[in-house]
Every structure is written in C-alpha cells, then in structure tokens.
Structure 1
C-alpha cells in the first residue's frame, strides 16, 4: 500500500464523540477485504488506523482533529522509577499468564470493570454480545495477557500481534485492585512481551490532549505521536 489508503473505504455517519463533549465523531472504515490480514493491518496501523472487532477504522471527524495515534518504541523503552515501583509492587502479588483463546473468566471481569468504572461510557451497561464484537477478531492472532491473584483473574490486556508490532486493544481489570495501578501495569507487561518477541512498536491507540482519561498514554517513553500523517517524537 506504500503509505497510501486502500481504494475502497467508507465513511460512517456522525455520532456523539465518546471522549469530548459537544463534539461529533465520524470514522473512515476500510472496505477492501484484502486489507483484513495481519501484514496489511500492520501497514494500516502506521497510517493511524485501529481495529474494533473485525473492522479497521480511524477517526475522520468533520471539524475536529484531536485524535492522534500513539506508539511506543518497544526496544528502547526503559521504565521510569515510578513505573518500576508499580511493577515491583505487582510482582509480589500477581502472576502473569498468556492465552491465545478466550476464557470463561473474561466476561464477568469485563462486566464488573465496565459497571464500576465506566458507567458514563458508551459500553455501559455491559453486554456479552458487545464484549465479543468489540474485542475479538477472526482474521488476526490475539494474545490475552492475564494477571492472576492466586486463583482469581484480576486483569486482561487484549493484544493484537503482528510481525513487527503489537497493538493494545483494551485492558479491563478488577476495580478492587485499583490501588496497584493495574492499567499502567498491564501496559508495562505488554511492553515486556513486545521486547521478548522483538517487536518494534507497541501501538496504544489514540491520544486526545483535551481528555484527561487519555493522558496516561504519554507516560511511556520514548514514544511517537502521529501529527498530519507524520510520526513525531513525544
């Protein structure tokens, strides 16, 4: 594709933005079936696209350009002192496991997370069908990075795997363990996974400077943000 969009793309209807009040959101959606493979998707990640379920998209809003794709340089990343403390604290309590298939414990944990942490979001109230259509994909390998406290699942990072990059799709965790900073811990675990797998980038999705919920994405350095189709150092 040589840094160009595929020939077949579509434009969604406008709908209320999930992150900024009084804004309308619109999505550019890939319609070309040949793009729905790991190698083509990796190229599209470099163009600012992302996956939701089986669909590849990127924001294409009429009067707003606040969404910027962010990626961490995985091989160069070194955790800060604060991040090391979070990892060390979690290491004493939790065990990391990896899975390539969905487990029965996932949806109850997701449901608890959405119900307690995101009652103001578009995914509330949680539904099993929405959970599956949002996170899973039939044309791409997914790794589920799990955090266990004894026999209890407390966090899952849904992670897309390509040849040179991984993409952090979504992390959900038990709010009862919120004091362990599990959101940050799971990104750090994705970075450790990427390093071991010799991946170049960890894509974190979109950064919106005006949205406080997104500010954590710029705490993992070195990283790059896509501005006007160029990747610039953060």
Structure 2
C-alpha cells in the first residue's frame, strides 16, 4: 500500500447540494480519504487548514462565492467560564465520565436515535441504522475515543450523553456529540464542551476543535460564546475571533 503524503494527496469535489445552514444557498465539499500509516499526520495537517473528519474522509466546504463556514477552536488554557458556564458545571457535577475506545454500543445507538428524533427530526441522520452508527463511530483511521456521561448517583447509572472525539497532537476535536433530550435543563451540549476544555487543560494540550461556525446561522451561534475562540482564515492562519 502506498503511503499518503501531503504532496501526493488527491482531493475531490462533491456535487452541489442545498446548504444545511443558510437557506437558498448551495454547498460543495473538497475531500480526500485518510489511509495508510500517515493518516494521523495528514489528519492533523489538514485540520490545521480548516478540514474536518467524517469516518475515513476529511473535508472542508468549497462553496462557490461563499466562505461562511469557518473552522473554529477554543484556546483552552485562556478560557475562563462565565457565570452561566459555572452554573452548567454545577448542574452536572453528579455525572460520571468514562473515556472509552471508539466502539459503538446498542445503548449509545438508542440514545443517539432519541436525540435525533427530538432535536433533528428533519435531518438525514434520522435514517441511520445501528450499522450506520457503528460505522460512524468505528470507521476511523486516526486515534478516536468515545466519552460516555452517566448519572453517577442514579441506581441504574443511565447513559445521558456521548461524545465521539478525535485525539489531536495539540488537543481534542469534537466529531459528534448527542445527549438525552429530556434533560434540557442540564444544558448537556454546553457541558460536553466545558468538559472537553477541562480534559485538554488536564492533558497540558492547547485546543478544543469545534468544527465549523457559521456567523449567520442561529444553530451555530453557541460556538461563539466559548472565548477565546480562534477562526481559521486560510492564508492568515488561525486568528482570534473579535
């Protein structure tokens, strides 16, 4: 098998599809496969340039006349939680946290389906089968983990949140996360990000990668609340969001 290197990586362009974030716009993605012994180094290099992993593919938006999708990351050691964030941490201090290998379970899938049906019922992911979910979690050529969050003091210790995360040389990249939709009062989505910040700091690393931020998209506004936040701006590299 021939190793992939940045010099020999072949990039592909998808066909235009309706944009999931901005109505009336079309999206296209530039992507390549992550294979070979150098998949991890290629993953890190392309992530530094605004790419995002999905299973054994890594991609970035390449939309004609639009650059609204911008890759963002939190500067972990400079992050100071606001009063609201501290309330979220207190509300979830009864959760047990376990870092596991990237292995799918039926318990995770059941929670995943309940989350999608409640929060994203009009999205394409609602059609994912248990096998599709298994591929999403386990089809990874890089170092990935699953972080499970359970109610520690409950007799059954039910699973309430899951984060699929890539381990980067300089931090953690949150690939996909989901949680119990009946526990909205806990702000679990926010808590998962706060916990990743804590884990990055404990490991003496630098960043939590949050994927793409779209300024004009209401569903993406939450990411801009985690400051300091850096935005990948092409040739300018990573710049602090004003």
TM-score (norm 2): 0.88
Summarize the alignment of residues 4-153 of structure 1 with structure 2, pairs less than 5 Å apart: 7-31=9-33, 33=35, 37-91=39-93, 93-100=94-101, 101-149=103-151, 150=154, 151-153=157-159
Secondary structure, in 3 states, of the residue corresponding to 1:105?
helix
> Which structure 1 residue ranges, 5 or more long, are not aligned?
none
* Cα RMSD (Å): 1.9
Is the Cα contact below 8 Å between 2:104 and 2:134 reproduced in 1? no
Residue of structure 1 in register with 2:3 after alignment: none
1:133 offset after TM fit, Å? 3.3
Is the Cα contact below 8 Å between 1:16 and 1:24 reproduced in 2? yes
Matched, 1:188 2:194: yes
TM-score (norm 1): 0.91
> Which structure 2 residue ranges, 5 or more long, are not aligned?
1-5
**1:11–1:161 Cα change, 3 Å:** same
Secondary structure, in 3 states, of the residue corresponding to 1:20?
coil
CA deviations on 1:44-99 (whole Å, 9 max, x unpaired) are 111000001111111101232110000111222221121011001110x3222221
Residue of structure 1 in register with 2:238 after alignment: 231
1:111 offset after TM fit, Å? 0.6
Paired residue total = 230
Moved more, 163-172 or 130-139: 130-139
Moved more, 24-33 or 107-116: 24-33
